[in-house]
Amino acid sequence: MQNRIMLATKTSFRDSVYDFARTIPVGKVVTYGQVAQAAGNPRAARAVGMLMRNNPDNTSVPCHRVVGAGGALTGYAFGNGLSTKKAMLTKEGVLFKGDKVDLASSQWDPR
DNA sequence: ATTTTGACTTAAG
DNA sequence: GCTTAAGCCAAAA
């Protein structure tokens, strides 16, 4: 953006978060901590949640593919809340273990 | 600029 | 396994 070189991670945190979120493949999920790390701040898991809540484009950003640590489903601002979130993930092929996501096979590793 | 708040995480009881 | 406490970060008031 600004100059020819992108100067590493000079983008806003929110930008990095949303960008990363868009790259999450269908049928996979990531934890808030993972998103935070990918965005440049491994400890900003909280901020990530806030950004997701204030998510500008719920259609472009698959915020429902972001779950809490251990695969636990956390808040969701649309539909019927967590119920809708789980339904959506299940429909996309994400395996569930009770009320949590089966990270063993459905957690995405960006690498 | 300071305070408040929240879709988090980890550690401890 | 569940509840409580503390740490950390970014956006909104």
**What pLDDT, on a 0 to 100 scale, did the predictor assign at position A33?**
94
Q: Calculate the angstrom distance between C1' of C12 and CA of A91.
A: 35
Residue A63 annotated as catalytic: yes
What DSSP line would sit under A70-92, residue for residue? GGB-----STTTHHHHHHHHHHH
**What pLDDT, on a 0 to 100 scale, did the predictor assign at position A5?**
37
Active-site residue, from A63, A66, A89, A103? A63
What sign has the CA pseudo-torsion A56, A61, A67, A68? negative
Distance of alpha carbon A60 from alpha carbon A62, whole angstroms: 6
Q: Where on strand C do bases come within 7 A of a protein Cβ?
A: 7-12
Strands A30-31 and A100-101: unpaired
Residues of chain A with pLDDT under 70: 1-10, 56-58
End-to-end CA separation in angstroms for chain A: 24
**What pLDDT, on a 0 to 100 scale, did the predictor assign at position A4?**
35
**What pLDDT, on a 0 to 100 scale, did the predictor assign at position A60?**
84
**What pLDDT, on a 0 to 100 scale, did the predictor assign at position A23?**
92
